A and B are shown apart, each in its own frame.
Chain A
Amino acid sequence: MTETSRISTIEEHPILEYIRRDRLPHIFCSACGIGTVLQSFATALRSLNYDMDNMVIISGIGCTGRASGYFAADSYHTTHGRAIAFATGVKVANPKLKPVVISGDGDLFAIGGNHFIHAARRNVDMLVLCVNNFNYGMTGGQMGPTTPVSAITVTSPDGNIEHPFNLVSVAAASGAVFVARWTALHARRLTKSIEKALQKKGFTFIEVVSPCPTLYDRYNRHGTGLEVMKKYREISVIRNFSDPMQAEIDYRTRIVCGEFVDSEKPEFSDLLEEHGKKLQKGD
């Protein structure tokens, strides 16, 4: 086969089989990090040849909340913050299913924060992919639980005075068995981490630091999406298995990326099944 004919046989994008093509074009802004995350996720599904009859993709509300609607999979768009609670119901009701929650920092850690820490504590089998763009994009760029101190948003017009969460630290402290952080620049490393997390049984968490060129990065004069990506390249460092408590995330100085936690712990639906089996035998 000649080079030319080989190229001519590629008629469509290799991840399209995982996408609801009748929903394209998507609603995401140009240079938004969500596209990278969805691409990495679909690429991971493809390289694992994941059985899509065993997966449910769930999201909350917000820009990233729209993610679930683009996958040709069983998928559900919950109310604001509740994706993890819904995923817990799915996993417990049918343990063969792997819930994947794709949502934003505000959805998962402000309104949904309680569900996050408790699902991590129980170690309910699911992958939580968090697109962290430091603000509420869908509603026009308000400050949220990850907005850095002094950052400008429409509800912190004179600079944010709140202390933000360090998401990987919250996840690790709550009991997640896999915790990673990448930026939207680290598409390949992100894909590998997603593959790893999908193969683990337990509560797994990946934060993806993402540009929001339309709102957050514009208000804070970070330049275009491309410039934000260049900045990520400049300031991000990879420190696998370093202490997530110390995993700095500061756009001015340093973003510490890597896989911070990869541990084993009995999973909730397994424990529940074991518990039930014992009782059914009359032990």
Chain B
Amino acid sequence: MEKPILTGEMFTQGDIAAAEGALAAGCRFFAGYPITPATEIAERMAYRLPRIGGRYIQMEDEIASCTAVVGASYSGLKAMTATSGPGVSLMNETIGLAAMTEAPMVLVNVMRGGPSTGQPTEASQSDIMQAKWGSHGDYEIIALIPSSVQEMFDLTIRAFNLSEQYRVPTFVLADEIIGHMRERLIIPPEDELEIINRKKPTVPPEEYLPFKPETDLVPPMATFGEGYHFYATGLTHDQKGYPVMTDEAQLALVPRLCDKIRKNADKITQAESTETEDAEILLVAYGGEARTAMRAVKDARAEGMKIGLFRPISVWPFPKDQLKDAAANAQQVIVAELNYGQLVGEVERIIRNEVPVHFIPRVCGTPHTPDELMKEIRRRIK
């Protein structure tokens, strides 16, 4: 049997790194449907999973793919799918089901230009809000955004860990730049990886309440075939999992589904601040665009500009305390995204008119060059 974890160095693509990260995290089930620019993840999984005792299945569409992932998760396997925006549009139905029935699952969205079929082969960061608000109703998800091939690997592992720990659908939101970029990937030895598995019930089946939370607001999870004989439904349910249509049942369930993420946000959020301590200008960028921004900041620093970069790594939940720290001395904040205005709204909400927040959009399929980005920054700063 081949090794599930390919410890060592390789020169590879972001999509492949996501697949390898998933396998390293213990993922043994993948269901998907071909779509540019995420197909390489499915291709890698189709090759790798059967060789390490896992299961790969290509489904008839993205709705089925995501639903099969939830079925596999409830059957005890760590499970994932990978797609792009149009696929996520279809999967959103099941994202809601997974949130409602608290199924751990990971979805890698390699973002391309939209709306609709848009620009399949081009880069974009325009599904940031779709990840947060894609399905109907009040719920929370977790979304992580990698900026390198290494982070595609690392954050896919973290996505599995968070998904298992909080029983919540977790996104890896990669832009096409990172998905198709090739660079060095270091896969550590197995014993250096931190792997988190879902909590299992400690009570006998007759005492088990499948949706009774513990103090972290997360209920332990039995899986099918273990003799617990539990019921789960997308309907509003009580701790037994039974449908209940009362105000009380909705009140006991929906706030908890949100609060298990909101109240644990300090353990989930992740961000990186570079040269922000004395920064009078704070640039905010993430994913592929953060690489351009990093270069622009270095160049501007060399010219004496007091500028720093804040890079949210978890976008949902948003690292707001880290942003406030990074913006402590900023007189202006500039957000650069490969879209027409998405995460900038969240930044404005947190900065609250204390200093001006400028926005640099980019809706075509190629990223800024560092020079273009600097030109845009200079046009905006007073």
Measured CB to CB, the residues of A under 8 A from B are 20, 22-23, 52-54, 56, 58, 68-69, 72-79, 82, 85-90, 92-94, 96-97, 114-115, 118, 272, 275-276, 279-280
CA A276 – CA B77 in complex, angstroms? 16
The proximity string for B residues 220-239 relative to A, scoring 1 for CB distances below 8 Å and 0 otherwise, is 00001111111111110000
Give chain B nearest CB distance to A91 CB in angstroms. Answer: 8
Partner of A77, one of B94, B233, B240: B233
Task: Please indicate the chain B residues that have their CB under 8 angstroms from the CB of A20 in the complex.
Answer: 231
Give chain A nearest CB distance to B276 CB in angstroms. Answer: 44
Task: Please indicate the chain A residues that have their CB under 8 angstroms from the CB of B240 in the complex.
Answer: 22
CA A52 – CA B226 in complex, angstroms? 10
**Taking A82-B67, A88-B64 as contacts, is the C-beta distance between A97 and B97 under 8 angstroms?**
no
Is A89 within 8 A of B71, CB to CB? Answer: yes
Task: Please indicate the chain A residues that have their CB under 8 angstroms from the CB of B77 in the complex.
Answer: 93-94
CA A256 – CA B2 in complex, angstroms? 53
Is A77 within 8 A of B59, CB to CB? Answer: no
Apart from A75-B232, A90-B72, 5 more pairs, CB < 8 Å: A85-B64, A89-B74, A93-B75, A93-B76, A280-B50
Give chain B nearest CB distance to A42 CB in angstroms. Answer: 14
Is A85 within 8 A of B225, CB to CB? Answer: no
Chain B interface size range? 35 or more
Partner of A74, one of B53, B70, B228: B228
Give chain A nearest CB distance to B91 CB in angstroms. Answer: 11
B344 within 8 A of A: no
Is B79 within 8 A of A89, CB to CB? Answer: yes
CA A17 – CA B227 in complex, angstroms? 15
Is A88 within 8 A of B242, CB to CB? Answer: no
Give chain B nearest CB distance to A225 CB in angstroms. Answer: 25
B60 within 8 A of A: yes
Query: Which A residue's beta carbon lies closest to that of B72?
Result: A93
Residues of chain B from 59 to 108 with CB closer than 8 A to chain A in the complex: 59-61, 63-64, 67-77, 79, 93-94, 96-97, 101
Is A97 within 8 A of B225, CB to CB? Answer: yes
The 8 closest A-B pairs by CB, nearest first: A89-B71, A89-B68, A77-B233, A93-B72, A93-B75, A85-B67, A85-B64, A86-B71
B134 within 8 A of A: no
Is B234 within 8 A of A89, CB to CB? Answer: no
The proximity string for B residues 40-52 relative to A, scoring 1 for CB distances below 8 Å and 0 otherwise, is 0000000000111
Most chain B beta-carbon neighbours within 10 Å: one of A54, A85, A88, A93: A93
B310 within 8 A of A: no
**Taking A73-B229, A93-B55 as contacts, is the C-beta distance between A78 and B67 under 8 angstroms?**
yes
Partner of B225, one of A22, A54, A72: A54
Task: Please indicate the chain B residues that have their CB under 8 angstroms from the CB of A115 in the complex.
Answer: 60, 64
**Overall SS of chain A's interface:** helix
CA A53 – CA B233 in complex, angstroms? 19
Measured CB to CB, the residues of B under 8 A from A are 1-2, 29, 31, 50-55, 57, 59-61, 63-64, 67-77, 79, 93-94, 96-97, 101, 224-235, 240, 242-243
Partner of A96, one of B1, B31, B225, B235: B225
**Taking A279-B51, A280-B51 as contacts, is the C-beta distance between A76 and B68 under 8 angstroms?**
no
Query: Which A residue's beta carbon lies closest to that of B65?
Result: A85
Is B97 within 8 A of A90, CB to CB? Answer: no
Task: Please indicate the chain A residues that have their CB under 8 angstroms from the CB of B79 in the complex.
Answer: 89, 93
Is A88 within 8 A of B68, CB to CB? Answer: yes
Partner of B67, one of A22, A52, A86: A86
Task: Please indicate the chain A residues that have their CB under 8 angstroms from the CB of B94 in the complex.
Answer: 79, 82
CA A235 – CA B229 in complex, angstroms? 40
Task: Please indicate the chain B residues that have their CB under 8 angstroms from the CB of A92 in the complex.
Answer: 29, 31, 55, 57, 68, 72
CA A96 – CA B223 in complex, angstroms? 13
CA A3 – CA B286 in complex, angstroms? 80
Is A276 within 8 A of B231, CB to CB? Answer: no
Task: Please indicate the chain B residues that have their CB under 8 angstroms from the CB of A94 in the complex.
Answer: 75-77, 224-225
Task: Please indicate the chain B residues that have their CB under 8 angstroms from the CB of A54 in the complex.
Answer: 225
Partner of A85, one of B51, B68, B235, B243: B68
Task: Please indicate the chain B residues that have their CB under 8 angstroms from the CB of A90 in the complex.
Answer: 71-72, 74-75, 224
Is A69 within 8 A of B59, CB to CB? Answer: no
Give chain A nearest CB distance to B81 CB in angstroms. Answer: 10
Task: Please indicate the chain B residues that have their CB under 8 angstroms from the CB of A87 in the complex.
Answer: 71
Is B228 within 8 A of A85, CB to CB? Answer: no
Query: Which A residue's beta carbon lies closest to that of B228?
Result: A74
Partner of A280, one of B1, B75, B93, B229: B1
